[in-house]
Amino acid sequence: MKRIMAVLLLGIISLTCLTGFAQAEQKGSLFTYKASASVFTMMINGQEVGTVKSAAKGLAVYDKVVERLLNIHSNKVFVDCDVVFKEAKYNTKPVSSANELAHAIEQVIVVKTNAYAVLVDGEKVCYVEDTGIVQEVLDELKNTQVQKIQQDEKGELQETHIKENITYQPETVTVSQMVDKQALMAIFTQGTEEVQEYEAKAGDTLWSIARAHKIPFSVLKEANADRNIDMIHPGDKIRLTVEKQLVTVVATEKQTEIKDIPYETEVRQDNSLERGRTKVLKEGKKRKKEVTYLITTENGKVTSREVLEEKVLEEPVKRVEVKGTKVPPQPSRSKPGQSSGAVIGSGKGSDVVAYAMKFLGVRYVYGANGPNAFDCSGFTCYVYRKFGINLPRTAVSQRSVGVAVSKNNLAPGDILCFGNPGHVGIYIGNGQFIHASSGSRMRVVIDNLSSKHYQKRYVCARRVLK
């Protein structure tokens, strides 16, 4: 219909051109005509594409461009354009060459096709030519998870399905909006949002980055699960967002494992044995049980682990020990400066740091033991007690606990000891430590070990974690 309108307009324009007159002036009762040479501005969808001597020549170039585009995209596409010619003065509009006109037409011409919008949980994410390629991509995603389960000899696949609701909606769109199978796979597996990154600077820790960007530490830790969060160096790329797949493959499998059954310990009291001493009468022995789990994963990550069945293969043997109750002679009082004899405990440095960070900003009060207020040694005692480690109460006495660590080999969770006066803190990594400051801030804060103030006062570092 649009082409017919253009041809009708061409006929009217051509009629004017054939008479050889374009303008008329009235003088008295007479009309005089002035011959004028005209050209035509060709417009497609409201945009000017060139100047032609006649509408017929413009349409001839237009037809060639359309024919070429249809051959490229097959017969599944169509051109949706409004073509209009407007008369213009020849001396103000240079005539476009055929190549110039064809190139300009290609820039504005709209090639459309019938397609399907792909909706994930009702949200439109892309357009495809055929819904079949969507199913192919979904099958490939499911097969990836199936192969992982089959490679694990313990696993027995139960079923796989797509968590999201995938639907389709027929639409007419431009060819440029369509995606192929490869692009669709990228959309489904990488999502549509770009993962933001931050370049680490000197003195940065994962804690400080989380605070600066107002991101929960747990989210930042998950986004960077592939790196050692205790060791961040300048220039490292830290992901600030978790890459979330647009489509989730849910897989369930049965898995059978042989687990140890811990033995019980029976403790008997013995008043002939000194208090604090124990003696084993009978060693305990672990035994085995067979446990069958129903495991659910989403894109390979375990989301639930349900026990379906437990079968005891052999009962464990109870351990029997006696505990002394006899009161030993009272020991003499230790001289000042002697070691407290604190033992090394178990735990991860990152766990100690994570727990200590919960008290950031809590006020300093001399002699306070927490949790609403601390002094420096009260803070370290409170934190380490959470992990089963009892430290001596004063900062000076904490200089002799655990084992000595050189300043070059510090690890998160080490105790830093300072002098003039006695002071202690907990190392958190990258040259920083957390402590209850008695200075002007009077609260639990983070400071840099490389500052002049703490460099001068630094005495030693002690490690109380295995």
pLDDT of 333 above 50: no
CATH number at residue 255: 2.20.230.10
Of 239, 273, 308, the last residue of a domain is 239
- Is the residue at 343 inside a domain? no
Number of domains the chain is built from = 5
Residue 331 or 152, more confident: 152
Do 162 and 92 have their domain in common? no
Q: What is the pLDDT of residue 294?
A: 94
By C-alpha distance, which of 348, 372, 353 is closest to 361? 372
Query: Token pair for residue 249?
Result: 């493959």
Residue 99's alpha-carbon distances to 82, 297, 308, in angstroms, are 21, 59, 74
Q: How confident is the model at residue 336 (pLDDT cuts 50, 70, 90)?
A: very low
DSSP state of 37: -
Q: Give catalytic residue positions.
A: 376, 423, 435
* Per-residue pLDDT reduced to its tens digit, 406-432: 999 999 999 999 987 789 999 999 899
* Per-residue pLDDT reduced to its tens digit, 356-413: 999 998 999 888 888 889 999 999 999 999 888 889 988 988 998 989 999 999 999 9
Do 202 and 259 have their domain in common? no
Distance from C-alpha of 211 to C-alpha of 361, rounded to nearest angstrom: 13
- Position 308: which residue type? L
Beta pairing class for 363-364 and 373-374: parallel
Q: What is the pLDDT of residue 91?
A: 63
CA 162 from chain centre, in angstroms, equals 21
Do 204 and 186 have their domain in common? no
- Is the residue at 331 inside a domain? no
Residues of the domain holding 280: 250-326
Of 85, 109, 133, the last residue of a domain is 109
- Whether this model's pTM surpasses 0.85: no
Radius of gyration of the chain (CA): 40
- Please count the other Cβ atoms lying within 10 Å of the Cβ belonging to residue 402: 21
